[in-house]
Amino acid sequence: MMASGPLDGVRIVEFAGIGPGPFCGMLLSDMGADVIRIDRPGDGKPGRAADVMSRGRRSISLNLKDPADVETALKLMERADGLIEGFRPGVMERNGLGPDVVLGRNPKLVYGRMTGWGQYGSLSQAAGHDLNYISLTGALYAMGRKGERPSPPLNLVGDYGGGALYLAMGLLAGIVNVKNGGKGQVIDVAMTDGAASLATMFFGMKAMGVWTDDRESNLLDGGAHFYDTYECGDGQWVSIGSIEPQFYALLLEKAEITDPEFKAQMDRSKWGDLKAKLTALFKTKTRDEWCAIMEGTDICFAPVLSMAEAPNHPHNAERQTFVEVEGVMQPAPAPRFSGTPAEIQRRPAGLGEHTEEILRDWQVSR
């Protein structure tokens, strides 16, 4: 399938990895970039349709222990706009593919490096995962219920929010700079840096004295009775986010709450008692019954859906937020573009499936 998205014509070389690296490659491919993935030698068979994060890219098989294949990789990078690599600091250099070598061959390349701890710092050579990276930034400490241990928030904050998205933004910013006459450069993406950046608002609130380190005691961490999740009578859950006074007033109206205690919305000393009352109230109806009363209003309400339920919700279906490809339900490309729509370019690639095709299209000889 030919690309048609806003990044049509942009070429990216992605060194195979796990998690946030492939996700960044998927995002850029969904936007129309020609992203090729350099894999270790494989059987060249088509990839599994369920390997959703591998969608959209072609795969070339190269043995980076072989000097001839290293030279082929360098030739590919000579023709690329950007590079994605997620190895520990020093690995690319030891393979003869470090920034000095690559930028010497292609001064306009934007060399994107993503690790958990960054390219330097006392922890830069240590192993780690998302949970560790967000632990170091203060983000994990703030998540969880009062008196309980911090709750792992899936690996969305470090790997994907603080890593992949910042790498995508950094690569595109660098490519725009080159298009405007600048030079190629190295993008050092640390998931610790990205996760800390994502927490900017909360650091600001703490500096203003309106946020504390006590979990479930603040406006947005479940401390407020009007910003939390509640169990319904059928064991399902709903979420309430009625922060603004007019939205809170509508919550009270729709829930038929006449208790005068609820008028003191921002009195933190009453939040615990009011939450207990709401907890009991929401258990008096099923999730569907509450949806019939509140969904689509300005209460700031939504049912808490499972991954199995989410694609079938009318709003998601109307927007085609999820798409089915070869029998696999998956999130559709985001965001939406009016003139250059993003799309899934191709099925997930197997290891080395497109080796000869890539060499031909990129005009590289081995």
What is d(CA 141, CA 159) in angstroms, rounded to the nearest whole number? 17
What is d(CA 181, CA 77) in angstroms, rounded to the nearest whole number? 19
- Dihedral sign of CA atoms 12, 15, 21, 22 in order: positive
For strand 227-231 and strand 237-241, is the pairing parallel, antiparallel, or unpaired? antiparallel
Work out the widest C-alpha separation in the chain, in whole angstroms: 78
> Amino acid identity, residue 294?
M
Give the H/E segment covering residue 285. Answer: none
Is 18:24 a contact under the CB 8 Å cutoff? no
What is d(CA 304, CA 309) in angstroms, rounded to the nearest whole number? 9
Length of the chain: 366
Is 299:248 a contact under the CB 8 Å cutoff? no
* Residue 312 Cα distances to 26, 230, 287, 293, 319, angstroms: 24, 22, 16, 20, 11
Peptide bond into 335 cis (omega under 30): yes
Half-sphere exposure of 93 (CA within 13 A, CB side): 7
Q: Could you tell me the two tokens for 196?
A: 């800390």
Give yes or no: 354 in active site: no
- Per-residue b/e over 323-339, b at no fewer than 16 CB within 10 Å? eebeeeebebbeeeeee
User: Which of 45, 8, 29 shows the shortest CA–CA distance to 349?
Assistant: 45
> Catalytic: which of 30, 34, 81, 159?
159
> Catalytic: which of 8, 66, 129, 273?
129
Q: Output the DSSP codes for 294-331.
A: HTTSTT-EEE---TTTGGGSHHHHHHT-EEEETTEEEE
Give yes or no: 225 in active site: no
List, by residue number, the catalytic residues: 129, 159
